[in-house]
Structure 1
Amino acid sequence: MNYVRQGGFSRNFLEDQRFRQQVPDVGARLRGANIQDAAAHNRKIILHAIRARGAVGRKELAEITGLTPPAVFKIAKDFLNERLLISTRMREGAKGQPAAVLTLNADAAFTLGLNIDRDHLTFVTLDFAGNIRTRSHLATPFPTPETVRSFFAECVDGLRQDGAIPMSRIVGVGVAMPEGLGTSPAGDPPPGHRQWSQTPVHTVIGDLVSTPLVQENDAASAAIGEMLFGAGLQADSFFYLFICVGLGGGLVINRQYIRGCHGRSGEIGTLPLSNPFRSSRSDLSRTLEHEVSIPGLLEALRKHGIDAADLDDIDPSDPMTDEAIDAWINSAADLLYLPLLGVVSTIDPEAILIGGRLPYGITDRLCEQVARRLSLNVSEDYPDLRVRRASLSADAAAVGAAVLAFKDLWERGS
């Protein structure tokens, strides 16, 4: 047994009742994998391999995934029977039979993704291969439940009238929205928007389509979408920085989204403002998302005499505007330095991805400045660490939500 010396006497912590009360029973926290779990996992990795390679043969799939050839053939047969995959033959040379390869059947199924934020609504239709088939966007400050219902109904009616996507093949709806939507980091929102604090989203749009509805945090949705259809096809582990009205994050390790004990991993926007390069600009009474966010950028522009109500009003070709943007980028990079250095030191990701709704040019410049600061401490021991713009970027939350709606179809065991 392990004993420690405390206060002049030995204490056996295994027999200490207070310690037992603080640590849950091990049996309650461990869960073995059954046949259904293994089948769902194997289906997922087969699909991920095909998404990453585009077109791949069964033998190569076995080599990539580590599954036995019979297991790969069995799963592939199931997918083909479900019409989720297509088998085609590609001639690699002049002799012999053309090799059979597997590709995703993009038209096999579709999902709807809805991103609700404090300044906009975005709707996408996603096919099984991860392609965005339709997209609708509405810039609206502090949308109410009624606004969301009207927008979503209009988008669904448009799909029905267009007829390009069979409604019978829509298998789910995913909704991405920030935590505490009825509030605002920038102040007190209008009464209509505060209704979200007591209004579940399924009661707003759940009756408009006859499919399952899943809901997820917007930063988590963006990270998951990136994991499955963006940079995650090349990087197995990354930290996703999501810059929108607020500031959030998502953690992916070994192609698994990590939620944390309370489902709040990656929420670096709640950290206090601390500028290690200019201590006079630190303000521990304010949070990081007050500065590193779209409202933070717009406020920085206003301080430079540039009146921009939203991102569409920003003219980066104007020298004064560009100078103000550059000042905000440098300030944001200073503030992100310590939090992201902590991420790099503790998680050791392959990449730091920055996404959200900032214009691409601003995001790219922010990535460059963040990388420059991290290089002060991240030595040549981290040659592969990259700081770059996320692939899905502006629509990432809506796409990620739509991706989550495919979950049952992907993991359905046979």
Structure 2
Amino acid sequence: MRSLRGNDQSVVRALNRNALLNMLLHEAPLSRVQLRERSGLSGAAVTAVIAELIEDGLVEEQATGPSTGGRPPVLLTVNYGARAAVGFKLMERGLDAVLANLGGEVGNHVRCDLPDTRPETVVQTAAEVTARLLDGSGVPRERLVGLGMGLPGVIDTESGVCVHSSYLGWHGVPIAELLERATGVPTVIDNDVNAFAAAERLFGHGRQARHLAVVTVGRGIGSGLVANGRTYRGARGGAGELGHTVSERGGRACDCGKRGCLEAYASEPALVARAREAAPDLPLPDIHAVLAQRSDARIGALLTDAGERVGVALANLVNLFNPELIVIGGEGVRLGEPYFSALRRTLRENAFDGLADDLPVVVEPWGDEAWARGAASLAISRTFDLEVT
């Protein structure tokens, strides 16, 4: 972070503005006096910034609080409907998109198929869907704070480049720039699990957590890490590849080209493949069929084994990262028992002395728009959490 010069008033004001907005997001309603006490800013600075935010429509005076002897304080809150963001979850065969307000509430949701995942196809479709979302909700384009896109792969968020995505067949694609050019709206991209973590940090179970791990299970297994209230992406944007930690050295082949990865044992495609091997007499075309046979001892043992493998991986994550909360999401939440009971038991058995004793492990109910809502949170988070670099 660069040092702030005393005459760099625009940067100082932007930092103050976002600090107060972020405070109201997490703690509203608050009075101006409470904002001054919590932020350490002067009364004049708080008054000036709040006046600006009210004029912009981002903050509103909601009610009066109890009097402590003088005039009752006026309480302030965020006007979540003042702005909106579009979020995209990019998949191999489709695009999920939502229009969400600053509180993460989804006002419009569109899901469309993609004929292919060439960057030009994705950009054109995203631009068309953005127009559909705005037209369908009556939100003018100038009220958009930005677009967010979550996609699988290694993402350089600062440059807006998809460095590598084996799922999409992309290498070095400047997708954020292409989207901005097509839509005229500022765009931020990130790994899809980091996008999900952004939603949990802003609006979900992690609102009060400074150190948070979000784990997704489904076609793949990934994690998003929030350290000190900030997403941790690593040196090249590749942090969180939990599914490619080694579960069994020299074991089953993984789609990444390596052997023994956790995904090769505990992802949904891996479970289907392993179930067919373990129970060749059963019709098991997909994960739904596998789960329908969970009462079969062979399938039950397989689900337990997969849950234990993920539990060990999470114990390693806890030992290294020491989060205060783990949130599990993704299509894999439908795996149910005995998968999750084995996961929790093995996590606690293998975590270092006391680190998992009081650690909440929350399984987040899955919805079709959850990923796209997370992507919208990427753009929304820029409104509340300004980083000066």
TM interval, shorter chain, is 0.7 to 0.9
Q: Secondary structure at the match of 1:234?
A: coil
Partner of 1:373: 346
Call closer, same or farther: CA 1:152–1:330 in 2, change over 3 Å.
Answer: same
Is it true that 1:270 corresponds to 2:244 in the alignment? Answer: yes
- Counterparts of 1:340 and 1:315 in 2: how far apart (Å)? 24
Call closer, same or farther: CA 1:214–1:68 in 2, change over 3 Å.
Answer: same
Of 171, 179, 183, which aligns to 1:209?
A: 183
Partner of 1:32: 3
What whole-Å deviation, never above 9, does each CA across 1:40-67 have from its counterpart, x for those lacking one? 4444443333222342323333444455
- Counterparts of 2:29 and 2:371 in 1: how far apart (Å)? 27
- Counterparts of 1:159 and 1:245 in 2: how far apart (Å)? 28
Shift of 1:127: 0.9
Gaps of 5+ in 2: 155-163
Shift of 1:297: 3.4
Partner of 1:254: 228
**TM-score, normalised via structure 1 length:** 0.74
* Larger Rg over CA atoms: 1
Aligned residue identity for 1:307: L
Call closer, same or farther: CA 1:164–1:261 in 2, change over 3 Å.
Answer: same
Partner of 1:176: 150
Kept in 2, the 8 Å contact 1:226–1:396? The answer is: no
Kept in 1, the 8 Å contact 2:62–2:74? The answer is: yes
Aligned residue identity for 2:373: V
Kept in 2, the 8 Å contact 1:58–1:73? The answer is: yes
What whole-Å deviation, never above 9, does each CA across 1:212-270 have from its counterpart, x for those lacking one? 22221112222222212212212221122122432222211221112222222222222
Kept in 2, the 8 Å contact 1:297–1:325? The answer is: no
Once the two structures are superposed, the pairs formed by residues 236-315 of structure 1 within 5 Å of their partners are: 236-274=210-248, 285-303=259-277, 304=279, 305-309=282-286, 313=288
- Counterparts of 1:160 and 1:176 in 2: how far apart (Å)? 20
Once the two structures are superposed, the pairs formed by residues 331-370 of structure 1 within 5 Å of their partners are: 331-358=305-332, 360-362=333-335, 366-370=339-343
Partner of 1:23: none
**TM-score, normalised via structure 2 length:** 0.78
Aligned residue identity for 2:53: F
Aligned residue identity for 2:284: D
Call closer, same or farther: CA 1:234–1:412 in 2, change over 3 Å.
Answer: closer
Kept in 1, the 8 Å contact 2:147–2:188? The answer is: yes
Partner of 1:399: 373
Greater alpha carbon shift after TM alignment, 403-412 vs 124-133: 403-412
Kept in 1, the 8 Å contact 2:61–2:75? The answer is: yes
Kept in 1, the 8 Å contact 2:127–2:183? The answer is: no
Shift of 1:159: 2.6
Once the two structures are superposed, the pairs formed by residues 213-224 of structure 1 within 5 Å of their partners are: 213-224=187-198
Shift of 1:288: 1.7
- Counterparts of 2:107 and 2:296 in 1: how far apart (Å)? 34
- Counterparts of 2:300 and 2:39 in 1: how far apart (Å)? 45
What whole-Å deviation, never above 9, does each CA across 1:277-305 have from its counterpart, x for those lacking one? xx998998232222332322333454443
- Counterparts of 1:80 and 1:213 in 2: how far apart (Å)? 25
Shift of 1:209: 1.9
- Counterparts of 2:253 and 2:130 in 1: how far apart (Å)? 47
- Counterparts of 2:294 and 2:328 in 1: how far apart (Å)? 25
Corresponding residue pairs, total: 368
- Counterparts of 1:249 and 1:228 in 2: how far apart (Å)? 17
Kept in 2, the 8 Å contact 1:113–1:124? The answer is: yes
- Counterparts of 2:26 and 2:175 in 1: how far apart (Å)? 33
Once the two structures are superposed, the pairs formed by residues 38-187 of structure 1 within 5 Å of their partners are: 39-65=13-39, 67=41, 69-90=43-64, 92=66, 99-118=73-92, 120-138=94-112, 143-145=117-119, 148-149=122-123, 151-179=125-153, 183-184=166-167
Partner of 1:11: none
Is it true that 1:384 corresponds to 2:358 in the alignment? Answer: yes
